[in-house]
Structure 1
Amino acid sequence: MPVVTQVLRSEWTKIRSVRSTVWTLGLAVVITVALGGLISALVKNDYDNLSAHDKLTFDPTFVSFAGTGLGQLAMIVFGVLVVSNEYSTGMIRASLAAVPQRGTFLFSKVAIATLLALAVSMVTSFAAFFTGQAMLGDLKATLDDPGVLRAVLGGGLYMTLITVFAMGVATMLRSPLLSLAILMPFFFLVSNILGNVSATEKIGDYLPDQAGQKIMQVVTAGDDAPYGPWGGFTIMALWVVAVLAAGYLLLRKRDA
């Protein structure tokens, strides 16, 4: 059996055998769908009180993804745990002894976790969309509307890339606590602050989450970002590639 196939199977077994990683994926689904549905219902009830400008820029598809901001934190935890669990338990020494080709080791771990995150994220994105549109009633959008299917697929891709980004950071830092101590405040606080303050708004446009979320938007009226949905997604993908490359270089140079 080829080495890569054996390593892929090994990584799949590791993920399945750790309950915390499975629970975080389930939590991501529940939070994203439930919060998106709740906020969609609240928006429906308050729609008549919106200003003319807010009604013009109303995006029913993006509203249904309102839970993504919180749900992505569970995906970040999943990405961190997939990598750093082996460091915290000391199992990384045995893993690297069994697979001395560190590129193969990292590729296999990232590949299995990415495929799993993609499957869960796509289910989550479609579930959040249909739940949110049901709550919006006559304000709802449908998959046949221009740009909607792209946005829903983009929601799944966005959460997948967030997971891979977290894996790259965890590969660099090795510590689960340190990785989460940096990633959680960055995505939950720092990025939002930079993106909503006029002096730093241009910087915020190029942060991975701010840029990546553009792919989930259908209505872009009033959005002055210097790129479109796929441009924002490309920026996020470049961030992910850069972080993974840095993680791989550090993995090659240092001891377990």
Structure 2
Amino acid sequence: MAAPQVVLSEWTKIRSVASTVWTLSLAVVTTIGLGLLISWLTNNDFGSMNREDRLTFDPTYTSFAGMGLGQLAMIVFGVLVVSNEYSTGMIRTSLAAVPRRGVFFFCKVLVATALAFVVAVATAFVTFFVGQAALGDHSAALGDPGVLRAVFGSAFYMTLIAVFSMGIAVILRSPMLSLGILMPFFFLVSNILGSVSATKKYAQYLPDQAGQKILQVIQPPDDDAPYGPWGGLGIMILWVAVALLVGYLLLRKRDA
């Protein structure tokens, strides 16, 4: 089967599964809704902030405060796109139809990545404009220095989270195991490691903590990371590349 046919086949698979719509919709609603709520609360509480907090206030980053939960939905999307075929046994049929496993794998990743990116870009811009509207006089404009980079960066971040999850799902071949590792790691473990002084300098190289650097327009006073926004995104891309490479190599060697 030629690559364009495989791409069309993978698109048909993804759009015909109800979980795709639900997980992506949840990512959109959570990111926008929570970002709006936190932006509104921040605007109401701005007068009670101390002087240092006001000077280092980042309205763009504040509007993306809901991304911490939104990324969990993107993780579920990435895992289910890949591991649903393993859990249902359809992987055997897919590999029989597309014996070239590299073509099968990268076409699946390509289609899912493109879909995730389109949704993430739309979510990023809506989240930004809604959040800035809620911040009122304390808002930022899209044309301000670093803002457009942060908005597109949030879309890159959400997309990369989904792609990283795809790689892990290929490695583990189990939706329950993949979600059981990824969701606690990104929701709890990474945050804990990043808040403990003994592990903070290592935790800043984890994919989520490095990748979220791209969302910042104003650097927090306690941020001593030895890289900038694009450097952090580069670190995250390396994590994603390694996950995809290991997944691809294992897919080539293992039985379906």
Is TM > 0.5 for Structure 1 vs Structure 2? Answer: yes
* Cα distance in 2, alignment partners of residues 142 and 196 from structure 1: 31
Q: Which amino acid aligns with 1:5?
A: P
CA drift of 1:221 comes to 4.4
Q: Which residue of 2 aligns with 1:235?
A: 235
Does 1:175 find its partner at 2:170? no
When the two chains are superposed, the root-mean-square deviation of aligned CA atoms in Å is 0.7
Residue 56 of structure 1 contacts residue 221 of structure 1 at CA under 8 Å; is this kept in 2? no
- Cα deviations across residues 130-155 of structure 1 (Å, max 9, x unaligned)? 01000000000001100000000000
Using structure 2 for the length normalisation, give the TM-score. Answer: 0.98
- The 5 A counterparts of 1:1-256 are 3-222=2-221, 223-256=223-256
* Cα distance in 1, alignment partners of residues 171 and 41 from structure 2: 41
CA drift of 1:22 comes to 1.4
Residue 143 of structure 1 contacts residue 149 of structure 1 at CA under 8 Å; is this kept in 2? yes
Q: Which amino acid aligns with 1:194?
A: L
Q: Which amino acid aligns with 2:105?
A: L
CA drift of 1:224 comes to 1.1
* Cα distance in 1, alignment partners of residues 93 and 151 from structure 2: 41
- State the SS of the aligned residue for 1:100: coil
Residue 191 of structure 1 contacts residue 207 of structure 1 at CA under 8 Å; is this kept in 2? yes
* Cα distance in 2, alignment partners of residues 70 and 58 from structure 1: 22
* Cα distance in 1, alignment partners of residues 169 and 220 from structure 2: 37
- Cα deviations across residues 156-192 of structure 1 (Å, max 9, x unaligned)? 0000000000000000001000000000000000000
Ranges in structure 2 where 5+ consecutive residues have no aligned partner: none
Q: Which amino acid aligns with 2:240?
A: V
* Cα distance in 2, alignment partners of residues 15 and 22 from structure 1: 9
Q: Which amino acid aligns with 1:44?
A: N
- Cα deviations across residues 18-69 of structure 1 (Å, max 9, x unaligned)? 0011111011000000000000000111111111221121100000000000
Count of aligned pairs = 255
Q: Which amino acid aligns with 1:232?
A: G
User: What is the identity percentage for the equivalent residue pairs of Structure 1 and Structure 2?
Assistant: 70
* Cα distance in 1, alignment partners of residues 214 and 220 from structure 2: 14
Instruction: Assess, with a 3 A threshold, how the Cα gap between structure 1 residues 221 and 188 changes in structure 2: closer, same or farther.
Output: closer
CA drift of 1:197 comes to 1.0
Using structure 1 for the length normalisation, give the TM-score. Answer: 0.98
- State the SS of the aligned residue for 2:57: coil
CA drift of 1:79 comes to 0.3
Q: Which amino acid aligns with 2:158?
A: M
* Cα distance in 2, alignment partners of residues 95 and 23 from structure 1: 24
CA drift of 1:110 comes to 0.1
Ranges in structure 1 where 5+ consecutive residues have no aligned partner: none
Residue 118 of structure 1 contacts residue 156 of structure 1 at CA under 8 Å; is this kept in 2? yes
CA drift of 1:226 comes to 0.5
